[in-house]
Structures are given as C-alpha cells and as structure tokens.
Amino acid sequence: MRDHGVLHAQLRERGVNVIDLNRSEGAYPGHFLRLVRALRGLRPHLVHTRNLGGLEGQLAAFLAGVRLRVHGEYGREPAEPCRSRPPSLVRRAMRPLVGHYVASSIEQERWLIEQVGAEPARVSHISNGVDSLEFHPRHGAARRHRSRGFHVP
C-alpha cells in the first residue's frame, strides 16, 4: 500500500506492474478511493485480502464491482490493534461483503463461524503447508544438509 523503494524498483525491473497507493498513517480516505479506482481499472476477477488490516480491501472490491471476494484469517492476536472500532465489530460489519473465508486452522474456522458469524458453507479450512519431516527439529536439519552435499553423521 506504500512505496517500498528498492523492492518496488526490483519488481518493476522484472516487468511487474506495481501500483503505489501511497497510504499514509492514520485516517486515509484518499488512499481508499485510490484503491477503489485501481480495482476498477484493473477489473480483477477476484480479490483476496488477509487479516484485519486487509478488510478494507473487501469494501473497496465491492465498490469496484469485483464479484469474487475472499478473505483469509491466518492467526489473530487477542488484542489486535484497531484505532477506531473493536476488531470483532469491524469483522462482523464487513461479513456481508466477504464472499468466502479461508481459515488456516480448525480453531480459526470455528472462530469465524461462532464469533464473526460467517456462514459455515462460506468458510474453508486450508492448513498451512509445513512438511513435518523436513522441518523436524532432529531429522529435518540433517536431511537438508545431506541434500546440499554436506555430510551429517
């Protein structure tokens, strides 16, 4: 949402179209309107937002006419920062605009249904993909080193 200097320059060098919305700290009605205009210009088939900070993108996508809107919740803090309204109120208010939710755990799925009020049919659970053998504290490190040509006793 903000200019990230070097990263944006590197992406542009590789031919990636980067749209800087120049989001400022605090209230940002101008940023929100630029987001709506950008989405209208891009005309995406789908917008996928993540966590509390991304929910404004659901409203922008709705106003821009994007028909497929997905919102993912990938963990949450007990006291998530939200300057103007409680996080639960914001999530419940935005619920009608979200076409489908993605939860990264069974607990997150249950929370979306019970606390946010999402319809169960509009919530999918997709676990984070971690290879438990590859990243096992004892065995994974040895396997990774062997695959790179190192000898591990």
Indicate the burial class of 100 (C-beta count within 10 angstroms; 0-12, 13-18, 19 or more). Answer: middle
pLDDT one digit per residue (tens) for the chain, 153 residues: 555 678 878 888 899 888 877 776 665 678 889 999 999 999 999 999 999 888 999 999 999 999 999 999 987 655 544 445 577 888 999 999 999 999 998 999 999 999 999 999 999 999 877 777 777 777 655 555 555 554 444
Domain membership of residue 107 (yes or no) is yes
**Domain interval for residue 86:** 44-147
Domain membership of residue 25 (yes or no) is no
Q: What is the pTM of this model?
A: 0.73
Cβ–Cβ < 8 Å for 124, 102: yes
Domain membership of residue 120 (yes or no) is yes
Domain membership of residue 7 (yes or no) is no
Residue 40: enclosing H or E segment and its boundaries?
helix 29-42
List b or e across 16-54, with b for residues whose CB sees 16 or more CB atoms inside 10 angstroms: eeeeebeeeeeebeebbebbbeebeeeeeeebbbebbee
Give the number of domains in the chain.
1
CATH of the domain at 54: 3.40.50.2000
Domain membership of residue 110 (yes or no) is yes
Domain membership of residue 32 (yes or no) is no
Residue 82 CA to residue 15 CA, distance in Å, equals 35
Domain membership of residue 62 (yes or no) is yes
Cβ–Cβ < 8 Å for 109, 74: no
Domain membership of residue 9 (yes or no) is no
